[in-house]
C-alpha cells in the first residue's frame, strides 16, 4: 500500500513538473512595455530593418511589426497587403498612385517581384521627421536575424517581437491566405527562428488568433481594439482570454485599466506619439505604450 501511494505521488509530481515546464516556456513580459511601432516609423521608413535597429538603439523593450504573405508563401513585413501610395514607388521610380494600390497586391507577387519596389526613399508626408532612404519590404526571418545579431554583438537584453497578422474576412484568398494557413506560416517562421518564447501574436482579426491558439496555446496573444464596444464584448469574440488587451489609446479610461487588471491581463495601448499623452497614460496605469517615436523613451523615463 505504501509503495502504491508513493507511485501516485511520483506520478503527480511528474505531471506538475511537466505543466510547469510548459507554462514557464515564455519569458516574462516587460514590467512596462515600451514598443517601437513598425520599428520607428516617425524616424525611419516603417517596417524596415534600419527602423528596427534604430528602435533597439533607443531602448525599446518590444518591436511592433505587421506581416503579410507573398504569392510564394513568404512572410513579409508590410502594414498593408498591397503597396501603399503614400510611401511606395514602382521599379521605374515613379510613385504608386492611389488608384494603383489595390492592384499592387502583395499576395499576388513573389518575394523577388516585391523586392523591386521601394518603400522608403520618398519619405512619409505625415511623418516629417522621418529620414528618407531606399528601403524594400523585408522577410520576417531577415528582421529577426538582424535584430538578434545586433543584440548579441552589443550585449543588449533580448527584445520581444509583437507581430500583427494583417487579415480581414473580405481579404481571404484575395489579399492573404485563410486564417489557418496565415497562422501556420507565421507560427512556423517564428518557431524556426527561435523566438517563440518572446513573441506576441496580435490582431484585430480574432480568426487568426484562434488559429494560432489551436496550433499552440502556450503563446502570448494580444487582441487589438479600435471600437467602443467595451472590454466584455470584445473579449467575447475569443474562445480564450489573451494575456494582452490593446486598444487605441483614446479608448482608455481608469475603469478600463481597473477591469483589465482585474482579469489578470496587461493593457498595452497604441499609437501614442506625444510625451504628454505617454505621461498621462502611464500615470493612469497602463502596462505599455506603442509609439512611432521611440526617441521619447528617455524623456518618459526621466519623468
**Adjacent-strand bridge partners of 200:** 162, 220
Question: What is the number of H-type helices and E-type strands within the chain?
Answer: 10, 9
Start-to-end CA distance of the chain, whole Å, equals 65
pLDDT at site 9: 40
Cα R_g (the chain), whole angstroms: 21
Query: What distance in Å separates the CA atoms of residue 247 and residue 228, rounded to the nearest whole number?
Result: 9
CB burial of 183-217 (b: ≥16 within 10 Å; e: otherwise) equals: bbbbbebbeebebbebbbbbbbbbbbbbbbbebee
Write out pLDDT tens, residues 146-198: 999 999 999 999 999 999 999 999 999 999 999 999 999 999 999 999 999 99
* Percentage above 70 pLDDT, the chain: 92
Average pLDDT over residues 69-87: 98
pLDDT at site 24: 67
Write out pLDDT tens, residues 17-54: 333 333 469 999 999 999 999 999 999 999 999 999 99
Tell me how far CA of residue 216 lies from CA of 36, 90, 187, in angstroms: 26, 39, 9
Residue 209 is inside which H or E element, if any?
helix 206-215
Residue 63 is inside which H or E element, if any?
strand 62-69
CB burial of 240-261 (b: ≥16 within 10 Å; e: otherwise) equals: eebbbbbbebeebeeebbebbe
Tell me how far CA of residue 240 lies from CA of 19, 147, 235, in angstroms: 18, 31, 8
Query: What distance in Å separates the CA atoms of residue 246 and residue 222, rounded to the nearest whole number?
Result: 7
DSSP 137: P
pLDDT at site 303: 76
Query: What distance in Å separates the CA atoms of residue 201 and residue 199, rounded to the nearest whole number?
Result: 6
CB burial of 125-147 (b: ≥16 within 10 Å; e: otherwise) equals: eebeebeeeebbbbbbeebbebb
Query: Is 36:291 a contact under the CB 8 Å cutoff?
Result: yes
pLDDT at 14 over 70: no
pLDDT at 299 over 90: yes
Interaxial angle between packed helices 140-154 and 49-57, expressed in degrees from 0 to 180 and rounded to the nearest 10: 30
pLDDT at 69 over 70: yes
Show Cβ contacts of residue 56 under 8 Å, excluding neighbours closer than 6 positions: 63, 147, 150, 151, 156, 159
The chain-wide mean pLDDT, for the chain, equals 93
Show Cβ contacts of residue 238 under 8 Å, excluding neighbours closer than 6 positions: 206, 209, 210, 223
pLDDT at 10 over 50: no
Write out pLDDT tens, residues 241-293: 999 999 999 999 999 999 999 999 999 999 999 999 999 999 999 999 999 99
Q: Reduced to 3 states, what is the DSSP secondary structure of residue 211?
A: helix
Question: Looking at the whole model, is its pTM more than 0.95?
Answer: no
pLDDT at 208 over 90: yes
DSSP track, 92-117: TSPBPPGGGTTTSBGGGS-HHHHTTS
Show Cβ contacts of residue 275 under 8 Å, excluding neighbours closer than 6 positions: 296, 299, 300, 303
Structural domains in the chain, CATH included, are 33-302 (3.20.20.190)
Amino acid at each position: 500500500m505504501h509503495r502504491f501511494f508513493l507511485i501516485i505521488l511520483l506520478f503527480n509530481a511528474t505531471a506538475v513538473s511537466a505543466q510547469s515546464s510548459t507554462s514557464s516556456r515564455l519569458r516574462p513580459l516587460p514590467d512596462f512595455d515600451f514598443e517601437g511601432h513598425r520599428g520607428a516609423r516617425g524616424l525611419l521608413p516603417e517596417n524596415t530593418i534600419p527602423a528596427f535597429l534604430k528602435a533597439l538603439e533607443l531602448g525599446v523593450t518590444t518591436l511592433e511589426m505587421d506581416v503579410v504573405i507573398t504569392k510564394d508563401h513568404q512572410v513579409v513585413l508590410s502594414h498593408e497587403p498591397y503597396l501603399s501610395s503614400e510611401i511606395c514607388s514602382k521599379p521605374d521610380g515613379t510613385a504608386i498612385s492611389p488608384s494603383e494600390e489595390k492592384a499592387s497586391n502583395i499576395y499576388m507577387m513573389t518575394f523577388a517581384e516585391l523586392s523591386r519596389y521601394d518603400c522608403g526613399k520618398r519619405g512619409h508626408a505625415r511623418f516629417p521627421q522621418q529620414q528618407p532612404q531606399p528601403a524594400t519590404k523585408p522577410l520576417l526571418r531577415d528582421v529577426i536575424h538582424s535584430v538578434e545579431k545586433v543584440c548579441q554583438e552589443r550585449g543588449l537584453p533580448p527584445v520581444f517581437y509583437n507581430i500583427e497578422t494583417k487579415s480581414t474576412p473580405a481579404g481571404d484568398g484575395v489579399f492573404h491566405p485563410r486564417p489557418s494557413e496565415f497562422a501556420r506560416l507565421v507560427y512556423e517562421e517564428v518557431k524556426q527562428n527561435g523566438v517563440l518564447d518572446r513573441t506576441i501574436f496580435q490582431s484585430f482579426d480574432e480568426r487568426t488568433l484562434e488559429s494560432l491558439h489551436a496550433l499552440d496555446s502556450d503563446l502570448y496573444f494580444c487582441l487589438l481594439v479600435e471600437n467602443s464596444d467595451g472590454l466584455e464584448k470584445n473579449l467575447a469574440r475569443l474562445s480564450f482570454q489573451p494575456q494582452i488587451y490593446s486598444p487605441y489609446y483614446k479608448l482608455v479610461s481608469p475603469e478600463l485599466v481597473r477591469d483589465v487588471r482585474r482579469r489578470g491581463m496587461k493593457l498595452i495601448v497604441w499609437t501614442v506619439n506625444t510625451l504628454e499623452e505617454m505621461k498621462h497614460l502611464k500615470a493612469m496605469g497602463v502596462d505599455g505604450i506603442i509609439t512611432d517615436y521611440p526617441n521619447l523613451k528617455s524623456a518618459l523615463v526621466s519623468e
